[in-house]
Amino acid sequence: MAVREAEPLGSLQEVQEVGLDREDLFGLYRHMLTARGIEERGHILYKQGKIPGSFYTGRGNEAAAVGVGAAMGPDDVGCPIQRDMGVHITRGVEPWRIFAQYMGRADGPTHGRDGNVHLGDARLGLHAMVSHLPAMLPVAVGMALAFRIREEKRVAVAWCGDGAAARGDAHEGMNFAGVRRLPVVFLIDNNQWAYSTPSYLGHAIDHLADRASGYGFEGVVVDGTDVLAVFREAKRAIEKAREGGGPTLIESVTLRMEGHAVHDDASYVPKEMFEEWARRDPIERFRNWLRENAGMTLAEEDEITAGVKKLLNESLARAEESPWPDPSTLLDGVYASQEELDTPHHK
Ligand SMILES: Cc1ncc(C[n+]2csc(CCOP(=O)(O)OP(=O)(O)O)c2C)c(N)n1
């Protein structure tokens, strides 16, 4: 089975056919701006010495993250990775809590127990990544198995990077999901570099999505800088999984526009590659699309931009006021309580 390459979405009418109205489109744009704005401010906080440890960004991946996050249903679950800030934003994690997380404060989703991008709010169906990659992929498959056993029409989304996709747990998770036709969607964020390792040293095939046929399900390659194409493919795959059609592997192709983390200047990435992908910047691309196809006026654009700026400024100020975690709470949350197991996402 040859992998399918997703078509871009051209017109407003096509977009409406996949269920997005004008307000939804503005929402996607707002989420993308928010995700980037959080990471840009995070960068500054890091340089100010306010972020302990390292700091990771997903610049260039905003469309891919927001597109998938928006395609998930309210009771679906996911395990986003270090490049997927847009998923957290789209599912409703408040930016001030993310800034608090970056700074190790008590109001971050991990309450100061972990820093940077190892975050997730289980109440919103998001499960925090651990450092070992792609360890969360089999976890998402396990959640999909639980949905099958409980006969719930819910879907799990499992993210991993192109480098992580080369590891054994990716194979085991995808194989098991294929055998059991579980309601899970695999999302490979193929940003072409795994730290300093380029794609051609990580896999010997043209498309990572080609692997899907070996597991007995569909694979699709999508341009990860096109939020609308990502949304359509993610929606299609998620609804297929929900209706019992089994997994899909979506490979979203982007370029990691910054270093692996802030300490890395990415000097090993050819300059021309950055230049080429900068011309395909997902936010600029969508802004132009909205102007040309959805008639976004300058006043509307300014309102969105100003709204995001205000939100981020207020969020940062609020996060700076968040206290450090109280050492006496160190063991809180290590084991789930009965009430925590009673949330809609655990039933
Ligand atoms: C099992 C394991 N080995 C090594 C690392 C260190 N590490 C963190 S991210 C990373 C690169 C991952 O590349 P990729 O999966 O392509 O994702 P990207 O960072 O490019 O988004 C490495 C080697 C890790 N987290 N887990």
| pLDDT score recorded for residue 343 | 66
Nearest to 95 by CA among 44, 35, 152, 48: 35
Distance CA 225, CA 279 (A): 11
pLDDT in tens, 3-53: 888 888 788 898 999 999 999 999 999 999 999 999 999 999 999 999 998
Distance CA 301, CA 111 (A): 35
Report mean pLDDT in 10-residue bins for the chain, 347 residues.
79 90 97 98 96 94 98 98 98 98 95 88 95 97 97 98 97 98 98 97 95 98 97 98 98 98 96 98 97 97 98 98 94 81 64
Report how far ligand 1's centroid is from the alpha carbon of 151 (Å).
34
Distance CA 6, CA 77 (A): 24
Domains of the chain by start residue, with CATH:
4-322 (3.40.50.970)
Structural tokens at position 44:
């500054």
Cβ < 6 A, ligand 1 pocket: 82-83, 131-133, 161-164, 189, 191, 193-195, 256, 260
> Please, what sign has the CA dihedral across residues 38, 190, 237, 220?
positive
| pLDDT score recorded for residue 115 | 77
Distance CA 155, CA 255 (A): 27
Model's pTM, two decimal places? 0.95
Report how far ligand 1's centroid is from the alpha carbon of 222 (Å).
22
Specify the ligand 1 atom closest to the Cα of 167: 1
Listing DSSP states for 250-297 in one string gives: EEEE----S-SSTT---TTS-HHHHHHHHTT-HHHHHHHHHHHHS---
C-beta pairs of 287-292 under 8 Å, 24+ apart in sequence: 287/29, 289/228, 290/25, 290/26, 290/29
| pLDDT score recorded for residue 281 | 98
CA 188 to the chain's CA centroid: 10
Distance CA 143, CA 162 (A): 22
- Torsions phi, psi for 308 (to 5 deg): -65, -45
| pLDDT score recorded for residue 344 | 62
Beta bridge partners of 193: 198
Distance CA 253, CA 59 (A): 13
- Torsions phi, psi for 185 (to 5 deg): -115, 125
Report how far ligand 1's centroid is from the alpha carbon of 82 (Å).
9
Distance CA 247, CA 180 (A): 9
**Whose C-alpha lies nearest to ligand 1, atom 13?**
194
| pLDDT score recorded for residue 280 | 97
- Counting ligand 1 atoms within 8 A of each CB, the residue from 79, 84, 116, 133 with the most, and so the one to mutate, is 133
| pLDDT score recorded for residue 338 | 80
- Torsions phi, psi for 342 (to 5 deg): -95, 10
pLDDT in tens, 291-327: 999 999 999 999 999 999 999 999 999 999 999 999 9
Peptide bond into 282 cis (omega under 30): no
| pLDDT score recorded for residue 298 | 98
Distance CA 156, CA 147 (A): 9
**Whose C-alpha lies nearest to ligand 1, atom 12?**
194
| pLDDT score recorded for residue 341 | 77
Specify the ligand 1 atom closest to the Cα of 189: 21
Distance CA 225, CA 14 (A): 18
